[in-house]
Structure 1
């Protein structure tokens, strides 16, 4: 399946498998503040001082998994392709065209000319092969990258400008994965350093518009503009070098300090604005770029082999007993959306299942009554001496997690279900998830491709529900991964979402949203398709 060359972008969008997204949902929103129309044309030069809510422990995008780290790494590496945040279409970047063959088992990329790494070496087919082989060699150190390259059989240098990536089984998701920073291309010289050294920025040599010039763990990271850069994504607003001379990332974990530093002019922009702080940045020259994360929404993911959750009627009752709009309006803000599917609304092939996820406590009660669960003395239902109860394992990766779960706990008590809340560290939660020793897991996963469902639910993937091999979800997960043909892939992805919601394998609650606050001197701080920062077009104005 051929892709036309970069010189015909209007034909390109029609020819590439276009992941249909509602434009209003996919686009970034900005509440208040001044835009480019208020500030004049973009101006080159200056430094963007950006406050991060957590410290990136590794800034190598091939190894990084946190938003804070990926917000840094995205600026340093280029990818073979890019993904349009508005349409989901895959478009040229380092590769100006590609073909998909062998039932989505073989992907051949034709590289554009002239791109170089910051050490001066060319971005050629041999470099791409070295980079992809290097990601696979990282193993567990590259959780995202190795999952995208599952079944990787190798890369073949067809000629200096052509590389073929082969897989042992159909792998349609790889085309979107090729647009991510996790598969961003590093120079061959980067692999002369250890993985740990690259994490600290030593030898982290990409072909991107910025280079790492400083890294102090738990304090700050400095990036400087790459002079001579001229091979940006076809989606970017301008070509040539970036506008900014420098990006200073400063680690400011305390939300109050972070917002205070922006309000006082010590920072130009901040990430992870808390709902309680949003109102102060909706005027007076400030703006709030927002974008819902694609991928799996925050959800109660059930282990269907455990206790009361082995009963599908119980799981369905729990889903009907959650008032999702109350969660977003009470604990969060208008920038957050109640879940309307297991996938976020900015995910390609998202299906609106809001009717199936409507709050209906009467129907929840009727389900439980028909299943033999009757109210106990404290209001929690009982059946054959067993209480209707389950625990949820979570970590504080999102500041409002506990508050959200406490509200959900109150809502479920009204239908006679006792939700026990268990806070764990990130490491503990990961260990528990791997062991299978849980009732519910509370989490979200960001990915701008529906194959994230296969990674979390398939018996050949994470299988967080502990489903048997002959479960009704597996065929649609396999079908959507087998082809890049939209006519086949879209209905399979839609059916997978529908099955998950109907069977309540996981119970969606709300969509995570990236909420930034940007001061009056910073402009065009934007998002890429995975809702991570894209700063090539960002610029700062003078005093």
Structure 2
């Protein structure tokens, strides 16, 4: 068996360099506006632009709803935002078998759910087995538990999770909200009840109310006393109440921050960030690990899925120009993975801007330029629509202009996050515009594996073979080979079009302090306080 310290040394090898890059983006994991002694009490309103209608931590997969849900749960482990190491949280210790198929966790004896029921081995077993049962309804957690063989309750404080094959990514997965714990009774609630917030959590805040597309109200849990060791605040949150307010329009979100209707947000437009910084608001930026912003075409669609169109798009996009529209910290995609992700390597040789080559590819495939500059073939226009909900309109508009230069008519249509999730796999869907945050290269499995939320109808056995292999390897160098092979196979087939890396900037009012990033660049409020 491998002890916790020995396993962490292996993990740290892959994460230190990535976190160094993340730290270059201006804030690392340090909280915003930290000054003076924290004040107990008070309230904080955090502005978000979107809501997909669910706050169950095990079902949510978009950033804004994750940032609500994650405050209500604790996980077995926590990822230190400064070092990338996996540290104790609900589990005080663990061992990992040498082949990474068996993980045994020892639970601390003082942690409870917010109804007072114990967080014990039976609760861990009930949660993880339900996540597997939920399948694609719990897209992140179920992908982390792929290949689960058994869960054994050794005693009330000890649980062993066994996989049918090595699962190199699992320990990091236990630090995520997607494997955060809710009470045993809550596990048995319906999906709808859990999405509506009718669950009992294990974290520092209690969800008091949730109104879809309006917001959520949370209260501090007075008896919370099991924060990870790296947290400055080891007790209950400083805040009495924490609220999330949905404000879709960018300028209105900025105005709400300026007028103190909200005190913090991670969705302020880049130009507004500069204005607010000059006015004394604090900015904290961190690169998001995981999948960069990508266009993932539906391979079965006759236009967007056409191989020549995909190959042309890969070459027709000027990624640096698109990144320049963002903050000074944002960078163009140089892989499917952001450069702050463990096991990232630069694959920019496959992403070179070459519009002339893009035109030649389309010419060779019979896509002929029409009188309006848009290509067509056999009477069909080279035209398709990208639907999106994220605050990326400016970037998509520039991408639209760049593609038009080579004869591709890419229309864009903004929708809601709820509608996007409800319709992403409908017949005729052209593809998916998305990114996914996770501080582990196995984010590739969440995006392209069998439990992926979006079915792109890929048929690339070589990719699938490398994808499966990287998930089984503990040796950092061996795993790097398979991660690189996975990424290159996807890019060489142009199954996915990476565009730019995402970073997150928390903007907080001068009277607001301690709003911070966790190890996955989600927002954490354990140390937040207001004057």
Deviations 1:53-94 (A, max 9, x none): 234633221222332222122122110112233454322211
Which residue in 2 is equivalent to 1:442? 433
Larger RCO (alpha carbons 8 Å, 6+ apart): 2
Q: Return the alpha-carbon distance in structure 2 between the equivalents of residues 51 and 309 of structure 1.
A: 35
| Structure 2, unaligned runs of 5 or more | none
Q: Return the alpha-carbon distance in structure 2 between the equivalents of residues 451 and 192 of structure 1.
A: 29
TM-score by length of 2: 0.88
Deviations 1:308-358 (A, max 9, x none): 66665553332121111212324x343432211111222221222234323
Q: 1:531 to 1:464 in 2, by over 3 A?
A: same
Q: 1:243 to 1:457 in 2, by over 3 A?
A: same
Which residue in 2 is equivalent to 1:227? 222
Q: Return the alpha-carbon distance in structure 1 between the equivalents of residues 189 and 412 of structure 2.
A: 43
* Cα deviation, residue 142, structure 1: 2.5
Alignment RMSD, CA only?
Answer: 3.2
Q: Return the alpha-carbon distance in structure 1 between the equivalents of residues 249 and 419 of structure 2.
A: 23
Q: Return the alpha-carbon distance in structure 2 between the equivalents of residues 437 and 328 of structure 1.
A: 30
3-state SS of paired residue (1:22): helix
Which residue in 1 is equivalent to 2:478? 488
Deviations 1:443-487 (A, max 9, x none): 222333222223333468568443335x33222111111133323
3-state SS of paired residue (2:236): coil
Which residue in 2 is equivalent to 1:100? 96
| Structure 1 position 406 matched with structure 2 position 397 | yes
Q: Return the alpha-carbon distance in structure 2 between the equivalents of residues 352 and 207 of structure 1.
A: 39
3-state SS of paired residue (1:265): coil
* Cα deviation, residue 110, structure 1: 1.8
Q: Return the alpha-carbon distance in structure 1 between the equivalents of residues 376 and 2 of structure 2.
A: 60
Q: Return the alpha-carbon distance in structure 1 between the equivalents of residues 52 and 230 of structure 2.
A: 27
Confirm or deny: 8 A CA contact 1:295 1:446 kept in the other structure: yes
Moved more, 366-375 or 407-416: 366-375
Q: Return the alpha-carbon distance in structure 1 between the equivalents of residues 126 and 183 of structure 2.
A: 8
Q: 1:525 to 1:41 in 2, by over 3 A?
A: same
| Structure 1, unaligned runs of 5 or more | 6-10
Moved more, 44-53 or 74-83: 44-53
Confirm or deny: 8 A CA contact 2:182 2:200 kept in the other structure: yes
Q: 1:75 to 1:305 in 2, by over 3 A?
A: closer
Confirm or deny: 8 A CA contact 2:32 2:283 kept in the other structure: no
Equivalences for 1:32-43 in 2 at 5 Å?
A: 39-43=35-39
Which residue in 1 is equivalent to 2:502? 512
Moved more, 318-327 or 511-520: 511-520
How many pairs are equivalent? 528
Deviations 1:190-248 (A, max 9, x none): 3465443333333x322212223344454443322222322212332342332223223
Deviations 1:32-58 (A, max 9, x none): xx9878722333333222223234633
| Structure 1 position 391 matched with structure 2 position 387 | no
3-state SS of paired residue (2:425): helix
Q: Return the alpha-carbon distance in structure 1 between the equivalents of residues 33 and 255 of structure 2.
A: 27
Q: 1:485 to 1:374 in 2, by over 3 A?
A: same
Q: Return the alpha-carbon distance in structure 2 between the equivalents of residues 198 and 220 of structure 1.
A: 16
Q: Return the alpha-carbon distance in structure 2 between the equivalents of residues 55 and 302 of structure 1.
A: 24
Which residue in 2 is equivalent to 1:8? none
Q: Return the alpha-carbon distance in structure 2 between the equivalents of residues 333 and 37 of structure 1.
A: 19
* Cα deviation, residue 129, structure 1: 1.2
Q: Return the alpha-carbon distance in structure 2 between the equivalents of residues 120 and 513 of structure 1.
A: 38
Confirm or deny: 8 A CA contact 1:391 1:438 kept in the other structure: no
| Structure 1 position 272 matched with structure 2 position 267 | yes
Confirm or deny: 8 A CA contact 2:210 2:216 kept in the other structure: yes
